[in-house]
Each structure stands twice: as C-alpha cells, then as structure tokens.
Amino acid sequence: MDYDVMMIGSGHATWHGAVALAQQGKHVAIIEKDLVGGTCTNYGCDAKIALDGPFQLIEQLERFTGAGVDKAPDIHWSDLMTYKHQVIDPLAPTMTTLLNQLGVTMLTGTAKLVDAHTVTVDDHTYTSDYIVLGTGQRPATLDIPGAEYIHDSREFLDLPDMPERLVFIGAGIIAMEFAAMAATMGKTVHIVEFSDKTLAPFNQTYVARLRTKLQAQGVQFHFNEAVNEVVKNEKGITVTTAKGLILDCDYILGATGRVANIEDLGLESLGIQASKRGIVVNDHLQTTVPNIYASGDVIDKPQAKLTPTATFESNYIAQAILGNAAPISYPVIPSVVFTMPRLAEVGVTVTEAQAHPNTYHTQVLPFGKQLAFQYKRTLDAEATLVFDQAGYLVGASLYADDSDDLINLLTLIINGHYTATMLQQQIFAFPSATVGLLDLLSNLLPRN
C-alpha cells in the first residue's frame, strides 16, 4: 500500500485525525481540490467571525449611549474586508506547511474511489489500508429562472462593498447572521422564508426577541413565501415569489440549506450507502465498506453538523484506526447563532422539555436584569435551563452577548453531571458574565 490512511478533504473532519495518526507513525495523505482547511477555515465560520468584531463593538457602544458614549462609529466594510483577507488568506498555506512538517502528505486534485483500497487523484492512482471521506457540504441552490443572480455564503464573505439593498432567501443561521450585519450598517434588508419560522431549531421565545430587535433595525421578514423567479433589470435585481411578492434589490443571498458533497466520489461503484442527508455510517463511523470511514458534515447523522462535531469525529476515527474498538459516544453539542445578542442552545431543548413535563422541568433566569453591570447593560439577557427529575442540568438556551462563551461552560456542567457542591468548590473570577450565571445556577442544582 502507498499509505496507511488516505483522507479525502482537508477540513476539520480529516486533518485533526491525520495529525494524530501521523504522530503515531502512520503514513497519511490528505487529498484536497480547493484550499487546505476546508469551508470553515476559508469560507465559513473563521471568515465570518473575522468580520464580526466591529459589529459586536458597535452594538455594545450603542447600548452605552448617554452613559459615557456619545456616538458609535461607522463600519467601513471595504476596510473590514481587507482585514479579513489579511487574517484568513494566510491560513491555507500555513496549514499546508504545518501538516507537511507533521508528516502528513498533501495531494492536490480531485479524488475518486476505485475500490476499497484504491483512490485516483486526477491522473494518479494511490492505494491505502484505510480511507476517510470528509468532503463536507456546499450551499443548496434554487432551481428557478434567474438562479445565476443568487449568491452563496462564500461569495457574501468576499464582498468588496456592502450592497445597499439585500434580499436573503431563508431564515436560518447564515441568513440571520449576515442580515444582522447589513442591518447594523443601515442597509435595506428583506428576509424571505418558505416556512413560518426563523431559526427553527432554537428556542422560539428568544428567536422572537431577536427578530423583534432586527425589525427595529429595519429588517423586513416575509414568511410563507417561495421565491420562484429572479430578474436582472434597470431597477437592479427583482425577486418575485409564488404569492406575488415583488422585491427590488442589489444583492441576493441564497441560504436555504446545505447539501452533502457526495457526487463523483465513486460511492455507487463500491456500494457505499448514502441518503439525501449524506453518507450512511454505523456507530464506528464506518461506511458500508468497513475500511472506509466518513466524518463531518458529509455524513447522515442526527448530531449538529458543526465544526467541533467534525473535529470530534476526526479524532475518533484516528483512535478507531489505531485500535480503539469502542463505538462513538457524542457528548451534548452546543450551537450558537452569532448575531447580537447571540443565541445558543445545548442539550435537551425547551420544546422537548415542555413536551415531556414528567421527565424535565425548566427554569428561566433573567440574569440580564439581575446582574446588569456584569452583562454590559443587556437587561434582556436571559437563560432557560432544563433539568431532569434528579435536578441535574441537561439542557440550556441563552439570549445574551456572551452566549457563545456561557454555553461552553454550561456544556461542561451538563457533560460532567455537576452538582451544586462541585460548583461551589470552585473559585471563579469576579465580576464576570460567567460567575454571575453560575451563582444563579448553583442554587438550582442538586447538592450531591
């Protein structure tokens, strides 16, 4: 065999495991046809968060208007985009260098499975004991007239200037995050959604608060509307829905979901089973061909398709190849919407808890009102916590500036089955958002 392990795709679903295997002396290759690091590093969460800082600061400064701040500054998108490129563009070549230094062979080209141990990369053929598929997802596209005028998240994150009038198709995480940025800059924003909900998996009480806040910033929501045509004309671009809604704009972002990259991999010829959601795997992340694994967003799974999940799976596969026979066991996985304020969820949802009142109970903590000075004048900051019959924390949803950090702490408490005694044996920094929430939480947990 040419390699012990070959990995198709270079995102978080593969490279963590590749490094772990190389450090154990395995001969590992990663195949990538685009930029090393995958979507998150180059076109997704990293690129978006590089743009996020000024919007977070503007939000906080506006909250202190009249309390030491006269006026929040303006955001200059073109300068911010230059900064994003300075931060993000070096990552792919840097990762390539680091992976090579760690003993991972990097191959450039399009990979296709030939048999259980053979992969072609363009005109070259390689063999390997194990193969890992980590090809990720891509934005879904609409099959309508004028679809060529609809942009995706990758293109939005490379915009040289922020358009004046934007239409977002879809009301999920990507649309809400980008719409919030445009609204903060004073742009005209429309969100067109096929269903009657925004951010369907999240606590709808907090989603409604976020939606109300965005509406106050000028964002217009159009529910139960299906876009059926896009036309470029003297007005710019016109979006029309099946019900007759007509919107003129300068830019359209399609954010109607993502689809697994499974075409042209050669899955069918090997009998590897796949669904509309991705590659089917067992509880060891093996495909229907046992020496071929799959990881990350490309697999069909109930768990959230997030970067940390892909990293967890990549590390698991490395250990499986090294001899660990245990099935994968997922901890609870947090999800965050990076608007301002942030929305976050982990574990048992409020909806599930309310549907099973004999199993769970919920507690609302309006910590923004109770601890205003620690929460940067965010009086509406709030948590809804879910407890099981024994009193242990099993789920949480948050609406706060610091939700992205607070949810990680709550995730640790859930996975660690923390009691009040365990929390009270720790000393945390004060004043801080963390300690304020923990003080309230410790009174709700079981003693022992």
- Kindly report, residue by residue over 274-333, the tens digit of the pLDDT: 999 999 999 999 999 999 999 999 999 999 999 999 999 999 999 999 999 999 999 999
With cut-offs at 50, 70 and 90, classify the pLDDT of residue 374.
low
161 is in an annotated binding site: no
Q: 436 with 374: CB under 8 angstroms?
A: yes
pLDDT at 337 over 80: yes
Instruction: For residue 42, give every residue at least 6 positions away whose Cβ sits within 8 Å of its Cβ, in sequence order, or none.
Output: 34, 35, 88, 91, 92
My answer on whether 9 and 101 are in the same domain is yes
Task: Decide if 233 contacts 148 (C-beta within 8 A).
Answer: no
Query: Looking at residue 435, what is its pLDDT?
Result: 83
Q: With a cut of 80, say whether residue 375 has pLDDT above it.
A: no
The domain containing residue 234 runs over which residues? 147-256
Same structural domain, 113 and 190: no
Q: What is the pTM of this model?
A: 0.95
Q: Is residue 129 part of a domain?
A: yes
Has residue 127 been placed in a domain?
A: yes
Q: Is residue 72 situated within a structural domain? A: yes
**Mean pLDDT, residues 421-440:** 88
CATH code assigned at 225: 3.50.50.60
How confident is the model over 332-354, as a mean pLDDT?
97
Regarding whether 177 and 122 lie in a shared domain, the answer is: no
**97-141: per-residue pLDDT in tens?**
999 999 999 999 999 999 999 999 999 999 999 999 999 999 999
Q: How confident is the model at residue 430 (pLDDT cuts 50, 70, 90)?
A: confident
Q: Give the helix ranges, DSSP H, for 89-225.
A: 91-101, 153-156, 173-184, 204-216
- Answer yes or no: is 330 within a domain: no
Query: Which has the higher per-residue pLDDT, 378 or 345?
Result: 345
DSSP 69: B
* pLDDT, average across residues 330-337: 98
Pair type for strands 258-260 and 137-139: antiparallel
Q: Is the domain of 229 the same as that of 277? A: no
Per the annotation, does 176 bind a ligand?
yes
User: Is 252 one of the annotated binding-site residues?
Assistant: no
The verdict on 268 and 413 lying in the same domain is no
DSSP 324-339: --PPP------EEE-S
The mean-pLDDT minimum among 73-77, 374-378, 404-408, 419-423 falls in: 374-378
- Residue that terminates a domain, selected from 256, 284, 308: 256
In total, how many domains does the chain have? 3
pLDDT of 82 reads 97
Stretch 366-370: mean pLDDT: 84
Answer yes or no: are the C-beta atoms of 314 and 13 closer than 8 Å.
yes
Give the other-Cβ count within 10 Å of 389's Cβ: 10
Residues 38 and 102 reside in one and the same domain: yes
Q: Is the pLDDT of residue 371 over 90?
A: no
Neighbours of 82 (CB within 10 A): 12
Identify the domain boundary among 234, 256, 278.
Answer: 256
Strand arrangement, sheet containing 251-254: 150-151, 251-254, 165-169, 188-192, 220-222
62 is in an annotated binding site: no
Q: How confident is the model at residue 373 (pLDDT cuts 50, 70, 90)?
A: low
> Would residue 177 count as lying in a domain?
yes
* 130 and 263 both lie in a single domain: yes
pLDDT of residue 448: 81
Domain identity same for 95 and 63: yes
DSSP labels, 224-280: S--EEEEEEETTEEEEEETT--EEEESEEEE-S-EEE--TTS-HHHHT--EETTEE-
Element containing residue 343 per DSSP (H, E):
strand 342-347
**Residue 448 falls within a domain, yes or no?**
no
> Are residues 182 and 33 part of one domain?
no
For residue 427, being part of any structural domain is answered with yes
Percent of all residues in the chain with a pLDDT value above 90, rounded to a whole number: 90
Residue 8 is labelled as binding a ligand: no
Q: Are 167 and 190 in contact (CB under 8 A)?
A: yes
pLDDT at 432 over 90: no
CATH of the domain at 356: 3.30.390.30
| Together in a domain, 134 and 158 | no
Q: Is 297 annotated as a binding residue?
A: yes
Q: Is residue 331 part of a domain?
A: no
Task: Say whether 173 counts as a known binding-site residue.
Answer: yes
Confidence of residue 220 (pLDDT cuts 50, 70, 90): very high
Same domain (yes/no): 77, 200: no
Judge whether residue 48 has pLDDT over 90. yes
pLDDT digits (tens, 9 = 90+) for 141-185: 999 999 999 999 999 999 999 999 999 999 999 999 999 999 999
The pLDDT assigned to 38 comes to 94
pLDDT tens for each residue of 241-266: 999 999 999 999 999 999 999 999 99
318 among annotated binding-site residues: no
Among residues 268, 291, 322, the one where a domain terminates is 322
Band (pLDDT 50/70/90 cuts) for residue 436 is: confident
Average model confidence (pLDDT) for the chain? 95
Q: Is 6 annotated as a binding residue?
A: no
177 is in an annotated binding site: yes
Is 269 in the same domain as 247? no
Average pLDDT estimate for 221-228: 98
Residue 193 marked ligand-binding: yes
